């Protein structure tokens, strides 16, 4: 069990504590809550204490009330750090893509579109093979249908390896 798993339970009693418990400061806030409740420093102990004795919940509300300003400052600083982390990640990805785009080498700047084309060609190939096999079966040559699952399975394997790369590349484009 993690501190995040009891964030909803604590959040019903003390919303600011619950939101912090589910974030990056979860372990620190969990220690504060466990100390306040007088139980072992673990999510299980806190959860059990709240389950066995619901009247103990007033201690959480009192803790949040007494430390409201500090907790809100902590929540703001956590949000700022998450925003800065996301911004830095996006900046790094953007810089990488700009370097790829300026590259002199064909494969360096075209690998993302090439993966897209390969998926499209593979998918179209699967459709053409399927239609061809069924037309052959209608014309009296059903042997092609026996190989169809194997061929489509091979194409699915190819797509299975390239589609996730295409999805990630497209998502960050």
Residue ranges per domain, the chain? 3-88, 103-171
Report long-range pairs for 98-102 (Cβ below 8 Å, ≥24 apart). Answer: none
Cβ contact 3:41 at 8 Å: no
| pLDDT 10s digits, 117-136 | 888 888 898 889 889 888 98
| pLDDT 10s digits, 98-117 | 887 777 777 666 777 788 88
Mean residue pLDDT across the chain: 82
| Angle at 123 (CA atoms; ends 120, 129), nearest 5 degrees | 135
Query: What average pLDDT does range 2-28 have in this prediction?
Result: 80
Buried b (16+ CB within 10 A) or exposed e, 28-67: ebbebbbebbebeeebebbbebbeeeeebbebbeebbeeb
Single pTM value for the model? 0.48
């Amino acid at each position: 069990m993690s501190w995040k798993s009891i964030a909803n339970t604590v959040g019903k009693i003390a919303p600011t504590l619950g939101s912090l418990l589910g974030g990056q400061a979860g372990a620190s806030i969990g220690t504060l809550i466990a100390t306040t409740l007088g139980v072992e420093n673990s999510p299980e102990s806190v959860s059990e204490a709240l389950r066995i004795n619901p009247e103990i919940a007033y201690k959480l509300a009192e803790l949040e009330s007494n430390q409201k300003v500090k907790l809100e400052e902590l929540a703001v600083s956590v949000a700022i750090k998450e925003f800065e982390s996301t911004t830095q990640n996006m900046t790094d990805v953007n810089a990488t893509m700009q370097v790829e785009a300026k590259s002199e080498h064909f494969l360096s700047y075209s690998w993302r579109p090439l993966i897209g084309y390969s998926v499209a060609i593979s998918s179209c190939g699967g459709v053409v093979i399927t239609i061809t096999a069924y037309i052959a079966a209608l014309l009296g040559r059903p042997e092609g249908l026996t190989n169809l699952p194997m061929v489509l399975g091979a194409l699915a394997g190819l797509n299975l390896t390239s589609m996730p790369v295409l999805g990630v590349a497209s998502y960050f484009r």
